[in-house]
Chain A
Amino acid sequence: MLEMLQYDFMRNAFAAAAVVAIVAGTVGYFLVLRGQTFAGHALAHVGFTGATGAVLLGIAPIWGMVLATVAAGIGMGFMGERLAQRDVAIGLVLALALGLGLLFLHFFTAFATQATTLLFGNVLAVDMRTVWVLLALGSVSLATLAVISRPLLFASLHPELAEAKGVSLRLYSVLFLAIVALATAECAQIVGVLLVFALMVGPAAAAQRLTSAMAAGVLLSAVLALLEAWSGIALAYYTDWPSSFWITALSAAVYLIATLPRPMGRFASAAPR
């Protein structure tokens, strides 16, 4: 079991996945609570444009991704929740972002590998430096989230009341989407831009099914994300199948199990209708 930890790339993979999963699970909980999961998905696609643009300019893709997602997140926040939840607008932006990314790659020679890595992730190729970058970015997003979490929850659950009490809905929408953007850029390093949903939304949605207490839900979401990411990497090591496949499969399976009707007993009240 521990022999896989002999390799540097495996140790890096586990470390990177741990950082990203905890950030994604925590941020994802609020994303699901606010009903903005699709916005998170779109941000990942914008990240693809940023990453390919950065490659074209000779910069590390992660910085292009961070820049593009954060800019798009702030933009979405300013446009207001009404637009951020309008699926036609988001869907078009999403397609345009992928199309632009494709164009940028067209000008770049190492087309195929770069594209696959960005789209589907390759956690086994993460180096130590990237782990540190992920840790720094993750700390920034979690610290910011911690500072704004109370008014963010108030604004998410009671928007009209929050407005009446002098809380700026727009400010928290912008700040939160900027945090989501950072988390998305991180996630994309592990599972790629197309599969960010697996780490950001899957564990959070499952956790909300399993417990209705908020503090327990956030914790469970982060733990589930961590277990899914680590198990995915371990399974990839033994099967030689892509880790991103395993992570998405585990994420879907855990969500499915969480939504199953409970057996009788004290959880009977949680049965779906």
Chain B
Amino acid sequence: MNAVELRDVSLTLGGRTILAGIGLDIAMGEFVGVLGPNGSGKTTLMRAILGLVPPSRGSIHVLGQPATRGNPAIGYMPQARHFASDLRLSGRDFVASVSNGHRLGLPVRGRIARAEMEQALRLVGAQELARRPLAELSGGERQRLLLAQALIGKPQLLLLDEPLISLDPHRQQEVVDLVKTLKADLGIAVLFSAHDVNSLLGAIDKVLYLGSGQAALGTIDEVITGPVLSRLYGSHIDVVRVGGRIFVMSGSCCAETEEHRHEPAPADRQPRHSGHA
């Protein structure tokens, strides 16, 4: 059984075709980096796997079942980080609100739900920082809590939408390493979207590169090549490897880093230490 199976899938949003006739298999326990220019459909693909965007053609199967909204086997970390950075709520309450969140009643947590939450916090190393209000956490620390939240409910598949956005390179590496450890410990499949393949080197098993409505899935060496990316970008692309890093060049400029320019990384706020720093 595959974690995700797409058969001839087309996705359309507001009349615009995002992906056209995609077929791919993602095996259980695979860590897949999802790359591609802005608007290439990384988020839409995840929303389709979640059952929020029905395909206009083809079929999507998740863990052997047709994709449906509310699938408890999927852990999801959305890109739009809605919650205000001035929320005074503790990280623990923030994460806890996810467990059984769809059921009516008072948000009282039973023993099992509490144990599950502590387990999720422990897996991401956030048991201590979850005591503090969200407003006092740094971007990287909040990212850990969002990851913990995605682990609640024992998912078999994790969809992480741009978890590295607005983190400095050091924190980015921490998050990637953390996901790699989680994948190994829990044996779950991970789809991890990012702007720059370099942040994922050494961690991912495969790359899913999206562009011009098409997709290429394979190892980094198979996919991050001039011919494949030229097809996906619809223009001539050179791939240059320097000192263990990969640069995707369009003409004379760097296609991948170009994507970062619109995102002036608001410096990862320094955590406030409460004495025991």
Contact = CB atoms under 8 A, between A and B. Distances in A.
The answer to whether A and B assemble together is: yes
Interface of A: 33, 35, 146-151, 153-155, 157-167, 208-209, 212-214, 217, 266, 268-271, 273
Contact of A147 (B76, B93, B104): B104
Interface string B68-112: 011010101010101110011110011001101111111100000
B105 A165 contact: no
B10 interface: no
B229 interface: no
Contact of A149 (B72, B88, B102, B107): B107
A214 B101 contact: no
B136 interface: yes
Contact of B70 (A158, A165, A217): A165
Among B97, B102, B103, the one with the most A-chain Cβ atoms within 10 Å of its Cβ is: B97
B13 interface: no
18 contacts: A33-B87, A147-B104, A148-B104, A150-B97, A153-B101, A153-B107, A158-B83, A164-B69, A164-B74, A165-B70, A165-B72, A166-B102, A167-B102, A208-B89, A212-B133, A217-B89, A268-B275, A273-B272
Contact of B93 (A148, A155, A166, A213): A213
Given A157-B97, A167-B101, 8 more contacts: A146-B106, A147-B104, A149-B105, A157-B83, A161-B78, A161-B101, A214-B90, A266-B274
A148 B102 CA distance: 10
A166 B82 CA distance: 18
Given A159-B82, A269-B272, A213 B98 contact: no
B75 to A, nearest CB: 9
A154 B93 CA distance: 11
B136 A269 contact: yes
A151 B102 contact: yes
B132 A158 contact: no
A150 B103 contact: yes
Contacts of B88: 208-209, 212
A164 B72 CA distance: 10
Contact of A163 (B52, B104, B273): B52
Given A150-B107, A164-B69, A269 B273 contact: yes
A37 to B, nearest CB: 13
Interface residues on B, range: 35 or more
A154 B89 contact: no
A27 to B, nearest CB: 15
Contacts of B149: 158, 161
Chain B contact residues, majority secondary structure: loop
Contacts of A162: 101-102
Given A150-B107, A153-B97, A153-B107, A160 B102 contact: no
B50 interface: yes
Contacts of B136: 269-270
A241 B234 CA distance: 75
A166 B105 contact: no
Among A162, A212, A217, A266, the one with the most B-chain Cβ atoms within 10 Å of its Cβ is: A212
B78 A160 contact: yes
A273 B101 CA distance: 33
A33 B69 CA distance: 26
A212 B274 CA distance: 15
A150 B89 contact: no
Contacts of A148: 104
Contacts of A212: 88-90, 93, 132-133
A38 to B, nearest CB: 14
A269 B138 CA distance: 13
A209 B135 CA distance: 11
A209 B102 CA distance: 28
B272 A147 contact: no
Nearest to B136: A269
A-B complex: 5 closest residue pairs judged by Cβ atoms: A154-B101, A166-B70, A269-B274, A160-B78, A212-B90
Contacts of B76: 160-161, 164
Contacts of B82: 158-160
Nearest to A265: B275
A214 B89 contact: yes
Contacts of A158: 78, 82-83, 97-98, 101, 149
A12 B4 CA distance: 64
Contacts of A268: 274-275
Contacts of B89: 33, 157, 208, 212, 214, 217
A160 B76 CA distance: 9
A151 B50 contact: no
A154 B98 contact: yes
A246 to B, nearest CB: 27
Contacts of A154: 97-98, 101-102
Nearest to B46: A164
B174 to A, nearest CB: 21
